[in-house]
């Protein structure tokens, strides 16, 4: 169950040409390689060039699996998911999907664009997890998120931590992240914050081996090991974006016209 459109619709949406090459959604291409496409319900539909959210299949799905502890995976655009849960909370009783269910978000939708989606500028991660966890009856430990961006050739997966009230993102073994002090640009110590710099894995044919300093602020939780699950490697938290930068994540882009009415 995804708050995304089907891959072919996502790729067709705002498709353009650059130097005679087709430019299409990064996220659409990611969704296209999901191995479970056939059994997935996509809640966003492309109609007359606009993305429209249909929450009826979502309501039927959560009623059908209520109290049964089935294996279920829910995810997609964070602002749309959150907005749907907030609107249903006033209309129906919470359900209990149980610990067989997981919630995976991604697509950069945490700073949901103002105006398009009327839930304010930023979604606090802990608030999303607590509200959705309470309404759907899914344990907070079953919430995961992905951090990546178009210029970057790898993704970082984070699991929610009740203690940190935030997601802890694991930096993969083959990649490298440097968190740099905002004033001095020197690498920070554990527990400190700064700009996130990502060094891509070398030797890939699809992306240049680039080093990119982004305007996202991160905090180094540990350089060596995840304090919760024991993962060996660097672990970071995402604090937010530098003030004044525009929300341009894939999730925010999807929340375009035609979504607000549902």
Q: Could you tell me if 179 and 198 are in contact, meaning their C-beta atoms sit under 8 angstroms apart?
A: no
46-65 binders of Zn ion (CB under 5 A): none
Of 195 and 231, which CB lies nearer to Zn ion in the complex structure? 231
CB of 229 to Zn ion, least distance (A): 3
What is the nearest approach in angstroms of Zn ion to the Cβ of residue 45?
36
Minimum CB–partner distance for residue 225 and Zn ion (Å): 9
Measured CA to CA, the distance from residue 68 to residue 48 in angstroms comes to 38
Closer by beta carbon to Zn ion, 197 or else 222: 222
Nearer to Zn ion, 182 or 229 (CB): 229
Contact call for residues 168 and 219 (beta carbons, < 8 A): no
Q: To which residue do tokens 């882009």 refer?
A: 253
Q: Is 147 in the site for Zn ion (CB under 5 A)?
A: no
CA distances from 120 to 42, 110, 124, 206, 218 (A): 25, 11, 10, 37, 22
Rounded (10°) angle between helices 78-89 and 125-136:
50
Closest contact distance (angstroms) between CB of 105 and Zn ion is 17
**Residue number with CB closer to Zn ion (111 or 145):** 145
User: How many residues contact Zn ion, by CB under 5 A?
Assistant: 4
Q: Per-residue DSSP letters for 55-87?
A: -HHHHHHHHHTTTS---EEEEE-HHHHHHHHHH
- For Zn ion, the closer of residues 164 and 176 by Cβ is 164
Residue least distant from Zn ion (Cβ): 226
Task: Output the smallest distance, CB 175 to Zn ion, in A.
Answer: 16
DSSP state, 37? G
Interface positions, 197-256, toward Zn ion (CB under 5 A): 226, 228-229, 231
- Binding interface with Zn ion (CB under 5 A): 226, 228-229, 231
């Amino acid at each position: 169950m995804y708050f995304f459109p089907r891959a072919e619709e996502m790729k067709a949406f705002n498709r353009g040409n650059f130097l005679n090459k087709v430019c299409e959604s990064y996220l659409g291409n990611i969704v296209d390689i999901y191995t479970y496409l056939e059994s997935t319900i996509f809640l966003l539909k492309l109609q007359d060039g606009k993305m429209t959210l249909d929450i009826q299949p979502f309501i039927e799905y959560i009623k059908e699996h209520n109290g049964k502890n089935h294996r279920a995976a829910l995810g997609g655009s964070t602002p749309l998911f959150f907005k749907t849960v907030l609107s249903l909370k006033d209309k129906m009783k919470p359900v209990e999907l149980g610990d067989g269910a997981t919630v995976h978000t991604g697509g950069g939708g945490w700073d949901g664009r103002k105006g398009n989606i009327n839930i304010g500028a930023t979604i606090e991660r802990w608030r999303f997890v607590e509200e959705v966890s309470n309404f759907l009856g899914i344990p907070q430990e079953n919430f995961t998120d992905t951090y990546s961006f178009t210029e970057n050739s790898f993704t970082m997966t984070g699991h929610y931590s009740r203690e940190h009230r935030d997601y802890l993102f694991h930096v993969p073994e083959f990649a490298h992240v440097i968190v740099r002090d905002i004033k001095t640009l020197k690498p920070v110590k554990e527990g400190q914050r700064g700009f996130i710099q990502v060094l891509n894995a070398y030797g890939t044919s699809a992306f240049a081996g680039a080093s990119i300093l982004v305007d996202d602020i991160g905090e180094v939780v540990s350089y060596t090991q995840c304090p919760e699950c024991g993962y060996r490697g660097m672990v970071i938290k995402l604090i937010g974006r530098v003030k004044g930068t525009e929300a341009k994540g894939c999730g925010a882009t999807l929340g375009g016209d035609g979504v607000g009415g549902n």
